[in-house]
Amino acid sequence: MSSYLERALSAKADRREFALGAAGALALGASGAGAQDEISEGGNLQIAIIGEPPAVADAVFTTATITNNIAQQMFEGLFTFDESFNPQPMLIEDYDSSADGLEFSFRLRSGITFHNGDPLTSADVVASLNRWGEINGRGRLIFDRMNSIEAPDETTVRMVFDQPSGVLPSFLARSEAMITPASVAEAAGAEQIPEDQLIGTGPFRFEEHAIDQYLRLARFDDYVSRDEESNGLAGRRTPYLDSIDFVPVPDESVRANGLITGEYHFADVLSADLAEMLELDPGVESINVQPYYWYSPHFNKAAGLFTNQALRHAVQLCFSQSESMLAGFGREEFVRFDASICGEETAWYSTAGSDAYDNPDLDQARALLEEGGYDGETVRWIATREYPYNFLMADYIRQQMEAIGMNVELVVSDWATLVQNRADPDAYEIFLTGHSQYSHPATQPFNDPTWPGFWESEAKTDLVNAMIAETDPDALSTIIDDYTTLVWEEMPFVKCGDNFVLRGRRAEVVGYVNVPDFFFWNVGLNG
Amino acid sequence: MVSFIIRRLVSMIPVMLMVATGVFLLLKLTPGDPVGVILGPDATEERRQALRDDLGLNDPLILQYVRWLGDAARGDLGDSLFLNQPVLTSLWERAEPTLVLTLLSTLVALSIGLPTGILAAQNRGKWLDMGSMGIAILGISMPTFWLGLNLILIFAVTLRWLPVAGYAPLSEGLWESLRYMILPAITLGVAQAALLARMTRSMMLDVLSAEYVRVARAKGLRERRVVYFHALRNALIPLINVAGLIFAALLGGAVVTEQIFNIPGIGRLLIQAVGRRDVPLVQGTVLVIAAIYVLVNLIVDIFSAVLDPRLRQT
């Protein structure tokens, strides 16, 4: 059995997909171009997703990843991300920005129409971004710095800021900064966009939604693609498929089995334990998505024990961060041991903090406990078994904390309870969660001092402001180094490591590019 | 008979009121934040508060209760917070899969359980009795998810005879719909069949030792006529009660089976609503399930009363 397993694994090893690193991009880009010639038009793609998305496809309304991923098949923004997560023009032809990062002027591409046939104008962009600035956290961050946003003519959008905002294109490239007709944005306001008003400019349009059964998107026949070679989400977008069905399948073994039997062409988020099973099936390609998320226990810094920085450091020193990742995720090919809060595939990667990372020292940890005045108080760690890693990592770290004399109580509940409790500073000392490895550090939610964990720090606020303001990439790198150093000094959370997620696709799905936020333009069904 | 039915219908009112109050209080005492699930992990606290206000979740408990009860009395169970549609629409959309699954599973249960129980009773103490009752105990003890997953592994993944999971509405054709329902119906039906077989055996044994059966035999009637005409008819009365309860339980949603087979039915709706703290949806679903239980029980009682005139007088 084991020799069969080995043969099967080695036979498939070269077909296993990994994300595009800078070096691999050229080779895969070339093979992608070759594959494009062979892609046949038509077909219905069945995609098994983890559950019913909140707000269907309104990524301004909700920050749920699944909604964002669906939305980006239908909606576009002024920018989008290339394979290195740099912002690239999407709905705009070009733009000017002042050297001080205070003024931006965007010129829209001509000939673009919405799914309802109306032409895209600058008034639509202004209305959509106004809604984004009103109800979305990251949009609010930008709009708080803004002096004015206006449409001087039909194809120009002008933004003037009170404070330098060089980061703007990175924020506008996120799927939540999506453009809808002005009438839709204005009518929706703080409410979610109704299904019949899900009108964008993207390669696929909303067709039908049977809740808990499928969400069907159909090819937008009048889609106007960019001409540049495709690169990540940027460049040419050709909708080959007639339609895409997103099928909510909450049970991951059903997603995996359905992929093997061909009922689904693509399955999102599968347990790493299923990797071997997928590898054995010649009709299935397993996809190791890098970068994806990183994980960390967050300390409650608003009340209780961990308002004391020495105690936060004691916890970091008492356990091996790499061991905690293995405890949570099991298989080494799906974890990476790294101190940076951005993946090495991004331009925001930093090696600052590497010395402190994964360097446990129990004696020093005990000394810090004493210095911090720890006197056997109970540490309430709120965890959930709904996501196995959440409990497994917490349980591993709990044991290490107890080994240095801390008293830890794991308070286990379901996710909905945890989300409520973590917002209450009196309810806990530690909770654990994940964050995107491929997001600009200024866009991380924990920068907001009202976000659970409550990281209030003048130095952090200054550095985040500097990151948002900076227009020069080299200067930005220095700021990110300083920010990462600060994370390891102030220790608002302990970065444990990176996790990659497993997805799977049928072999007949061609043209698929392995990016964290999946997309299905340039993708076809052959055979 | 009419006054019997009216009496039973009126007695539904306090039952439903108690269920409604119980569910409301239970949900309100359970921690959990629907807004966090709706707005996603990165939403700001300010935005969460705004949505809580919009949804009326910050109103005093008694106000929320009175408002909900008033609406429910008028037949409006409110809107689902997560699915953004009326609760009654959510339930109506899931009625078909659950009803089809219930009917098929009950059919499986009856077609296996009844003959097995009768055969076992006829062959009391013999290997057929012991063997079938041993299998029945196995059937009752077997966890539904274990049986379901194994059926999927054998008939869907390995043999590829049937689909792994999902649902095709009846509008897409009877066979297309049945293909998806065969494995879940067997999964659910087997456990109920086992229960029914044991109940049937026990009822039949009671009846077969009754004096009128002895008289029937003494008259020289054929054994088949004694068993199926004289004994089974009387054993059926308690069995109809059991079958009714099984039917009501299945109609209330087979949570695990619907989850494993990805059937968009009432059971899956309820379990997801609890996880998302979709309070109006949980309240509405539980209320409807309670109503189904009470109504099915009423129908069973009417049937029993028709079959057994003694019951009408009590």
For B55, nearest residue in chain A (alpha carbons): A191
Coil, helix or strand at residue A291: strand
| pLDDT tens digit sequence for A286-322 | 999 999 999 999 999 999 999 999 999 999 999 999 9
Q: Please name the residues in contact with B235: beta carbons below 8 A apart, sequence gap of 6 or more.
A: B200, B203, B204, B206, B207
Contact A212 B260 (CB under 8 A): no
Residue B184 with chain A: CB contacts under 8 Å? none
Contact A261 B42 (CB under 8 A): no
Residue B277 with chain A: CB contacts under 8 Å? 416
* b/e sequence B31-58, b meaning 16+ C-beta within 10 Å: bbbbbbbbbbbbbbeebbebbeeebebe
Which of A66, A261, A294 to mutate to probe the B interface, most B CBs <10 Å? A261
Q: How far, in whole angstroms, is CA A139 from its chain's centroid?
A: 16
Residue B165 with chain A: CB contacts under 8 Å? 249, 251, 254, 257-258, 263
For B166, nearest residue in chain A (alpha carbons): A213
A and B: number of Cβ contacts within 8 A: 131
Q: Which one of B36, B54, B84 has the shortest CB-CB distance to A420?
A: B36
Which of B29, B38, B42 to mutate to probe the A interface, most A CBs <10 Å? B42
Contact A62 B38 (CB under 8 A): yes
Count CA atoms closer than 13 A to A481's CA, side-chain side. Answer: 8
* Residue A282, pLDDT score: 93
Residue A445 is encoded by which pair of tokens? Answer: 């939610």
* Residue B314, pLDDT score: 53
Q: Which one of B157, B264, B277 has the shortest CB-CB distance to A213?
A: B264
Concatenating the DSSP letter of every residue in A184-223 gives HHHHHTTSPPPGGG---SSSEEEEEEETTTEEEEEE-TT-
Residue B202 is encoded by which pair of tokens? Answer: 């026990």
Residue A62 with chain B: CB contacts under 8 Å? 38-40, 43
Contact A450 B44 (CB under 8 A): yes
Query: Rounded to a whole number, what is the distance in Å from the CA of A419 to chain B's nearest CA?
Result: 6
> If pLDDT is split at 50, 70 and 90, which confidence band does B246 have?
confident
Specify the pairing of strand A79-81 against strand A87-89: antiparallel
CB atoms within 10 A of CB B14: 9
| pLDDT tens digit sequence for B15-56 | 888 988 998 888 888 888 889 889 988 888 888 899 999 888
Query: Rounded to a whole number, what is the distance in Å from the CA of A269 to chain B's nearest CA?
Result: 16
Contact B36 A135 (CB under 8 A): no
Residue B238 is encoded by which pair of tokens? Answer: 């308690």
Residue A337 is encoded by which pair of tokens? Answer: 């041991």
* Domain(s) of CATH 1.10.3720.10: residues in chain B: 99-264
Query: Rounded to a whole number, what is the distance in Å from the CA of B84 to chain A's nearest CA?
Result: 8
Query: Rounded to a whole number, what is the distance in Å from the CA of A456 to chain B's nearest CA?
Result: 15
A292 phi and psi, to 5 degrees? -140, -95
Write the DSSP symbol of residue B79. B
Contact B40 A63 (CB under 8 A): yes
Contact B164 A254 (CB under 8 A): yes
Residue A64 with chain B: CB contacts under 8 Å? 39-41
* Closest of A422, A386, A388, A389 to residue A498, by C-alpha: A389
Specify the pairing of strand A87-89 against strand A524-525: unpaired
Contact A417 B30 (CB under 8 A): yes
Contact A420 B48 (CB under 8 A): no
Longest dimension (CA), chain A: 70
* Residue A82, pLDDT score: 96
For A436, nearest residue in chain B (alpha carbons): B42
Question: What CATH number has the domain spanning B99-264?
Answer: 1.10.3720.10
Which of B37, B51, B146, B262 to mutate to probe the A interface, most A CBs <10 Å? B262
Residue B38 with chain A: CB contacts under 8 Å? 54-55, 62
* Residue B42, pLDDT score: 82
* Residue A383, pLDDT score: 96
* Residue B297, pLDDT score: 86
> If pLDDT is split at 50, 70 and 90, which confidence band does B140 have?
confident
Residue A140 with chain B: CB contacts under 8 Å? 44
How far apart CA A512 and CA A505 sit, in angstroms, is 9
Query: Rounded to a whole number, what is the distance in Å from the CA of B9 to chain A's nearest CA?
Result: 34
Residue B269 with chain A: CB contacts under 8 Å? 212
How far apart CA A87 and CA A466 sit, in angstroms, is 19
Quick one: angle between helices B266-275 and B87-122, nearest 10? Answer: 120
Distance set, CA A192 to CA A222, A240, B52, B172, B276 (Å):
26, 29, 14, 32, 18
Which of B164, B179, B187 to mutate to probe the A interface, most A CBs <10 Å? B164
Contact A416 B46 (CB under 8 A): no
Residue A188 with chain B: CB contacts under 8 Å? none
| Rg of chain B over all Cα atoms, to the nearest angstrom | 24
Average pLDDT over residues B221-243: 84
> Tokens 């809107």 identify what position?
B79
What's the one-letter identity of residue B258?
Answer: E
CB A331 within 8 A of CB A275: yes
Q: Can you tell me the ipTM of this complex?
A: 0.86
> Tokens 């992608």 identify what position?
A32
For B39, nearest residue in chain A (alpha carbons): A62
Mean pLDDT for chain B overall: 88
CB A368 within 8 A of CB A398: no
* b/e sequence A261-293, b meaning 16+ C-beta within 10 Å: bebbbbbbbbbbebbebbbbbeebbbbbbbbbb
CB A496 within 8 A of CB A341: no
Average pLDDT over residues B154-167: 94
Residue A439 with chain B: CB contacts under 8 Å? none
* Closest of B197, B240, B33 to residue A382, by C-alpha: B33
CB A411 within 8 A of CB A405: no
Contact A63 B42 (CB under 8 A): yes
> If pLDDT is split at 50, 70 and 90, which confidence band does B228 have?
confident
Residue B259 with chain A: CB contacts under 8 Å? 250-251
* Closest of B173, B169, B166, B131 to residue B152, by C-alpha: B166
Contact B39 A63 (CB under 8 A): yes
Residue B39 with chain A: CB contacts under 8 Å? 54, 61-64
Q: Please name the residues in contact with A243: beta carbons below 8 A apart, sequence gap of 6 or more.
A: A44, A45, A204, A207, A216, A217, A218, A219
Percent of chain B with pLDDT over 90: 41
CB atoms within 10 A of CB A398: 19
Contact A257 B157 (CB under 8 A): yes
* Closest of A200, A166, A254, A183 to residue A472, by C-alpha: A166
Average pLDDT over residues B249-269: 87
Write the DSSP symbol of residue A119. B
Residue A99 is encoded by which pair of tokens? Answer: 């050297």
How far apart CA A293 and CA A325 sit, in angstroms, is 12
Q: Which one of B42, B163, B166 has the shortest CB-CB distance to A445?
A: B42
CB B277 within 8 A of CB B37: yes
Q: Please name the residues in contact with B146: beta carbons below 8 A apart, sequence gap of 6 or more.
A: none
Q: Which one of B36, B54, B160 has the shortest CB-CB distance to A419?
A: B36
CB A54 within 8 A of CB B38: yes
Contact A212 B38 (CB under 8 A): no
Q: Which one of A55, A135, A420 has the shortest CB-CB distance to B31?
A: A420
Residue A102 is encoded by which pair of tokens? Answer: 């205070």
Contact A450 B42 (CB under 8 A): no
Contact A135 B47 (CB under 8 A): yes
Contact A263 B50 (CB under 8 A): no
* Residue B253, pLDDT score: 63
Concatenating the DSSP letter of every residue in A409-435 gives EEEEE-HHHHHHHTT-TTS-SEEEEEE
Check whether B72 has a pLDDT greater than 90: no
Domains of chain A: 32-265+508-525 (3.40.190.10), 290-500 (3.10.105.10)
Cα torsion B106, B112, B115, B117 to 10°: value is -90
Contact A416 B33 (CB under 8 A): yes
Contact A416 B32 (CB under 8 A): yes
For A417, nearest residue in chain B (alpha carbons): B32
* Closest of A236, A205, A222 to residue A119, by C-alpha: A222
CB B123 within 8 A of CB B116: no
Residue B271 with chain A: CB contacts under 8 Å? none
* Closest of A226, A262, A210, A257 to residue A44, by C-alpha: A262
Query: Rounded to a whole number, what is the distance in Å from the CA of A167 to chain B's nearest CA?
Result: 19
Tell me which residues of chain A have a pLDDT lower than 50.
1-36
Contact A420 B37 (CB under 8 A): no
